[in-house]
Amino acid sequence: MAIFINEPSHTFNEYLLIPGYSSSQCIPANVSLKTPLVKFKKGEESAITMNIPMVSAIMQSVSGDRLAVALATEGGVSFIYGSQTIEDEAAMVSRAKNYKAGFVVSGSNVTPDSTLADVVALKEQNGYSTVAVTDDGTANGKLLGIVTSRDYRVSRMELSTKVSEFMTPLEKLVTAPEGTTLKIANDIIWDNKLNSLPIVNSEGKLCYFVFRKDYDMHKQNPNELLDADKRYVVGAGINTRDYAERVPALVEAGADVLCIDSSEGFSEWQKLTIQWIRERYGDTVKVGAGNVVDADGFRFLADCGADFIKVGIGGGSICITRETKGIGRGQATALIEVCKARDEYFKETGVYVPVCSDGGIVYDHHITLALAMGADFVMLGRYFARFDESPTNKVNIGGTYYKEYWGEGSSRARNWMRYDLGGDKKLSFEEGVDSYVPYAGTLKDNVALTLSKVKSTMCNCGALTIPELQQKAKLTLVSSTSIVEGGAHDVIQKEKTTAIK
């Protein structure tokens, strides 16, 4: 007979934190959000410790190389999506890993015969204000000049104007030869009051740009998550089908950590994938697994050797797995049970396996709740899809800007391998939707605001670290009436607009 769990499973919105004693030291400036990304033994430290408890979802509409750089700059890790060719994913990883080295491959390129309209379209597409002009319009073509925002005025020029008419030509540029060190490149930038310095080889072909802002960014971003070579830490998604080809390519590209991307991880497919990695790389290649929603699933993947384990089935904003297949569990209940199993596993084995809460985050305070319930970090999709750095288009609908956002189980993504159960290589039915999310600006500004809320709530609980929060937190279930009471009610709110005088 089937096993029945008669107590309802709960979501984050059904819980509140009860404030605890706050000492005079409990101020946001004193809060540390450092958290382990991969497993470690008792008395040791994790091989990768993040400075903030946030990672981005393994999704086409979320995690490209631009977002990987932006999130690592803030102290988190992005998992570049695996539902693309092995070559393309490895190239994304490589671009992100090489970015912080200071030598940046040009992301926007045109030919002299391109038009102002092409330049404007490129800037709208990727946000880059420096455009390289090369003979063939590629990032490594012969450099003929550059275009920056100082070279044109859209309001005073025809969009059909050729780039050759307004670009800054090569003879007026300061360049440096291939092999120039980053220190010397930065000295040239400062001595010549430049914003960017093209690096060219002996044949005059563009190799890289070095940007003044990269030097400034390093000083302004103390939470940057860097590897031993001062490059950004970057993650990448894999599947349980082509791992024998994909994993070596991603490792060669420099990926610091991998994660099996699957809607349901309690399977032999994940065991075989982890086993293959361990046999060939030992513990040098870090790989997360999931997703699971109970203690049995956690224990299985922990015994398989997963470096971290993701929790959550069906709780994502674009996920319809529960609706189409009838499997899943309320995210809060699933997380509480798995984290309890994680602690028991640690007591038994002396191995701490970090838990990632994946899905169900609607409001910023849900992140704090997830951490209090035991999560070491959270994986976010919709949250990051809203930002400039996500790979999707920004569209104007009825005067309001949105970003496109679709699930890996949607027909648009066609990521059949994520939902593969060993059958045909096709997506038989959808487990995700195609949608829009309100555009929210830059990742940096939004992450800073979100984490300020997390830190403030932690202080209310008398905690200055995530482990301390998990030890001291008191959580209470709330009724539906209490949820209504928690928001503005019984008042007529003023319009949130500024009156024109």
Question: Out of 231, 246, 386, 418, which one is annotated catalytic?
Answer: 418
- In terms of DSSP bridges, do strands 40-41 and 77-80 run parallel, antiparallel, or are they unpaired? unpaired
Active site residue 231: no
Answer for the pair 290, 240: CB distance below 8 angstroms, yes or no.
no
Which element (helix H / strand E) includes 245?
helix 243-253
Integer angstrom CA distances of residue 151 from 156, 353, 396: 12, 53, 27
Phi, psi of 370 (to 5 degrees): -60, -40
Answer for the pair 378, 357: CB distance below 8 angstroms, yes or no.
yes
Which tokens in the block code for residue 436? Answer: 């829009």
How far apart (Å, rounded) are the C-alpha atoms in residues 90 and 80? Answer: 9
Q: Which amino acid is at 380?
A: L
Write down the number of H helices and E strands in the chain.
16, 24
Phi, psi of 377 (to 5 degrees): -165, 170
How far apart (Å, rounded) are the C-alpha atoms in residues 326 and 329? Answer: 10
Active site residue 418: yes
How far apart (Å, rounded) are the C-alpha atoms in residues 86 and 249? Answer: 7
Question: Out of 319, 339, 356, 461, which one is annotated catalytic?
Answer: 319
How far apart (Å, rounded) are the C-alpha atoms in residues 387 and 443? Answer: 6
How far apart (Å, rounded) are the C-alpha atoms in residues 286 and 353? Answer: 12
Integer angstrom CA distances of residue 462 from 34, 230, 336, 448, 475: 17, 34, 21, 21, 14
Q: Which amino acid is at 253?
A: A
SS3 295: helix
SS3 153: coil
Active site residues: 319, 418
